[in-house]
Chain A
Amino acid sequence: MGSRYLLRRILQAMLTIAGIVVLNFILFRAMPGSPERMSHNPNQSAAARADLRARWGLDQPLFPDQFARYISTTLQGDLGQSYKYKGQDVTEVIANRVWPTIILFGLGELIAIAVGLVLGAYSGWKRGGVVDYAGNGASLILYSMPYFLLGMILLVIFATALGWFPTAGMFTLGETYSSFSDQLLDFAHHLVLPLAAVSLGLIGQYSILMRSSVIETRSEDYITTATAKGLSESRVLRGHAVPNALLPTVSLIGINLGFIIAGAITVEVVFSWPGLGTLTQEALEARDYPVLQAIFLILAVTVVFANLVADIVYGRLDPRVRT
């Protein structure tokens, strides 16, 4: 693959991130309800409030002072201190919440990709078959259901009614584990339902797209040629149909990442999963600017990066775009 292609893509990504950083800054300052009003203290004197504003640098003009300060500190890796969790660094607050989200959504994506693509490919190939009707129907329902609704249904049925799974959190509170595998088991136990909520929704999405993609590919000339050459059906599907049908899905996976993050908030809230989603909700309520800015920066970089990877993979799969 051409290095110019790669270089161009990377440059685009960096420019996008730079734009996001600026937008990030502006957006959060433009929101009504500045932080010092969050201090519910009716006894706070005017001097105290002014002192608070000065300490947070809020009394200085937006451009260039506050903005310059934001850029320089961000580049140094100092993302400031949380307004809500008083005295704690933003990086600390976020660090605790990153892995739970990565695991939940990373695993969810992987499962969804594996199952969704296979299901979609098979449905598309054996169009009109049982798998197709059942699979497609189920996928449509799952696709159109909001994550939180799916999550709540799973919670009520499997956690509350049947009691098979816990209702909230990542680990059982106050539990002492006699071995690492015990802890892993507990974690897995808590992971099942939120993971199901995330994967099922995504499976629906990927399977439908893959299905229509395969159906389209099926009518291509090279498929007819391959079949005419005497290749087995599965060989044709695996070797010719799927790789071509994969293209739109790969793009979707990259684009999807942004929307998944939005879904992250709802699923995490339903299951009290201590990740970035719940942190975002809390920070929004508390107008915790530094934390919000940091989260959105991380998300933006992640989405841009994921799209970059998707572009590269697409480039490898389809030589036609590698100009």
Chain B
Amino acid sequence: MRSPVRRRLTRVLVALGLISLIALPAAAPVGAADPVVLRVGTVQDLDAMNPYLTEYYVGWEVFGLNYQGLVDFGLNAEPIGGFAKSWTQDGNTWTFKIDPDLKWSDGTPATSEDARWTLQKLLDIQKGDRGYVGVGYLDLYLTYAAVNSVSAPDPQTLVLTTDYPNTQILTSYLPILPKHIWEKRDINTDANKVPVVGTGPYQAVEWKTGEYVRMVRNPNYQGPTPKSYQDETFIQFFKDEGAMTEALKAGDIDYARNVTSDQFDSLKSQPNVVVAESTVAAEANAFTHLVFNTHAPIKDGGSSTSAVRDVAFRDALGYAIDKPALVDKVLGGHGVVGSTIIPPAMSGGLWHLDPPNVRTFDLDVARQKLDAAGYKLDASGKRLDHEGKPINLKMVVPSSSTTYSQSAEFISAWWKEIGVGVTVQSLDPDAVSALQKPPEADPPGKASYDVVIWNWAGDVDPNSLLKNATTDAIKSGSSDSFYSNPRYDELFALQGKENDQAKRKTEIDEMQQLLYDDAPYHVLFYDAALSAWRTDKFGGWPLSPETGGLPFFAYGTAGYDYLTAPQAAAPSAAASAAASAAASPGSSEAAVVATAAPSAPPASSSTSGSGNSLLLVVGIILVIVAVVAVVGLSRRRSAAGEEE
């Protein structure tokens, strides 16, 4: 009957409940002195733990902490000891010295053989069918440095030879991998599962995709003395800047990278939070631009009018863009007006050229120039091209950032005023990328657009940005303007080999001027990088570079070595670095010495973070409850019926 059934059911339930409680894992070990944990927030999601497979900034930050490059970057992007402690150059021969006490994080001695093995592996793959390593970003540094052979005459010495004398190897990202672990792995596809073994300051021990990566102090790291303050570094991946900003305000994270300009302004008044805007670091080494499709006519594709192929037309339109207004309205003032394609942020302004013939915003001048170039207005106020067709430009913007669509709104309004029609279309970044492929590329595309507004980012050397306007780039699919100028190509080849910095600067200046005059691009602005961090848990925040830079996500990961315990005085205004003001680098040095940070032993595996067992238990209990509920629900009817 019912009653025994119900009683039995209850008994089963209780039994199950008890069983699940017993099955709970034993109480976790009591934590030692709680480790000092640094929490860094970013909106970018880490894609790979293998340095040769990651395509994102955050991936570079992670491998920068796990591994050392052959040569690393200091706070001011200057070459400092990495895997190799010192080096000498003699013409085409580089000799690197490795510290005899250097050890991998697992205790194995690290020698020149590890470096030789890593670099030789890269060279071998490059020469093979595949031609590139992983996603093909890092091995290029060997190509730029023209390295042709590598050898390890003794465990502390590594010798490289190059095709021609150059110093590119000193500004390269070449993480050195432990041979004893990687010789069994395929560097092109291996996931490099945690725990990671490297010589960098922090080693990844946990990675929850889409959530965070947890890195603990490497006891064998040959870093600065005294040791860096934090025992563990977390990088947490947020879905959007809003959530990240809230987390910073609540103290759930200590550093927020790339907040939006509105959030930046709102964070200025938060207690214990320092905001810094950098036009000389990180994302500022990039430009947002408007690019014309200058490709020759393409069947069933290409530009909608021959006008975009005319220098005079593009030049005239340049006078109808109010760049200062864009910086003010679109970036909230957080940026620098653009001119040439090498940002002033790159290498402290070493390569940037300020052209003498800057275009100013003047609609009348724009109209005059259009008239002079033969683009007459028709009766309805529209400009006609040389074939007599009214001009209506198709402007495409990626939907990844409102910066592009907002800029497009302003620009199309200005251009309409001078008679040039514009239709703006917003597409997924991937779709825009596919759209920009010409017939020569593989896979081929139709390049059906007139104008695109997007963004290019640079690294320490101008090569990667200059390359995009070469004729070769059209075939490789990286050119967005399809600009082809023999003189530009010639200069590109020359500067790539040029060791004399002054001569190289002259060559690069000429290239920048060529592009400015021919105007396949109108560089709108150089976005400032906006970050914020808390001062109540950590102090000694360094800036990289030391004038107007940011602590993290800089050229290297040197910034992580400088943190200290929180400092008494909240240096809110003083530390916030504006582009013009020089920050005081000296303070970080003093703070490092003064603090007696208790160097707690790195936390052994505790129950922190993972919680997989907990989830499993809760989940199973839930399923049991659900099943019981369903069964119980179906039973109640018969029970009620019986009660009559």
Task: Give the B-binding residues of A (Cβ under 8 A).
Answer: 32-33, 37-51, 84-88, 93, 96-97, 99-100, 102-103, 106-107, 110, 113, 155-156, 159-160, 163, 166-180, 183-184, 187, 238-240, 243, 246, 250, 269-272, 274, 278-279, 281-282, 286-287, 309, 313, 316-317
Contact = CB atoms under 8 A, between A and B. Distances in A.
B35 interface: yes
Nearest to B443: A49
B265 interface: no
A33 B618 contact: no
B593 interface: no
Nearest to B55: A40
B640 A239 contact: yes
A238 B55 CA distance: 61
Given A176-B603, A178-B28, A187-B618, A33 B476 contact: no
Contacts of A272: 211, 238-239, 243
A87 B634 contact: no
B9 interface: no
A166 B434 contact: no
B31 A178 contact: yes
A239 B642 CA distance: 10
B137 interface: yes
A103 B640 contact: no
A176 B136 contact: no
Contacts of A39: 55, 135
Contact of B608 (A37, A160, A177): A177
A62 B505 CA distance: 51
Contacts of A269: 239-240
A103 B622 contact: yes
Contacts of A38: 430
Contacts, number: 229
Interface in B3-40: 24-25, 27-28, 30-31, 34-35, 37, 39
A45 B240 CA distance: 33
Contacts of A240: 640
Interface stretch (B186-194, B217-225, B282-290, B306-314): B186-194
Contact of A243 (B131, B192, B210, B640): B640
Which residue of B30, B211, B626, B629 has the most chain A CB atoms within 10 A of its CB atom?
Answer: B211
25 contacts: A40-B55, A44-B132, A44-B135, A44-B476, A46-B441, A46-B475, A47-B130, A51-B129, A84-B47, A86-B53, A86-B191, A87-B50, A99-B612, A100-B615, A160-B250, A168-B238, A169-B252, A171-B611, A173-B214, A177-B606, A183-B611, A239-B643, A240-B640, A278-B210, A279-B210
B477 A177 contact: no
A86 B50 CA distance: 8
A37 B45 CA distance: 18
Contact of A177 (B31, B238, B612): B31
B433 interface: yes
Contacts of B135: 39, 41, 44, 86
B192 A87 contact: yes
A309 to B, nearest CB: 7
B246 A177 contact: no
Which residue of B140, B190, B630 has the most chain A CB atoms within 10 A of its CB atom?
Answer: B630
Contact of B622 (A47, A102, A282): A102
Given A45-B136, A97-B210, 9 more contacts: A39-B135, A43-B467, A49-B443, A106-B619, A156-B246, A171-B611, A173-B212, A176-B603, A179-B27
A176 B31 contact: yes
A313 B27 contact: no
Contact of B606 (A103, A176, A250, A317): A176
A48 B39 CA distance: 37
A177 B28 contact: yes
A287 B136 CA distance: 20
Interface string B121-144: 000000001111011110010000
B264 to A, nearest CB: 17
Which residue of A174, A176, A179, A239 has the most chain B CB atoms within 10 A of its CB atom?
Answer: A174
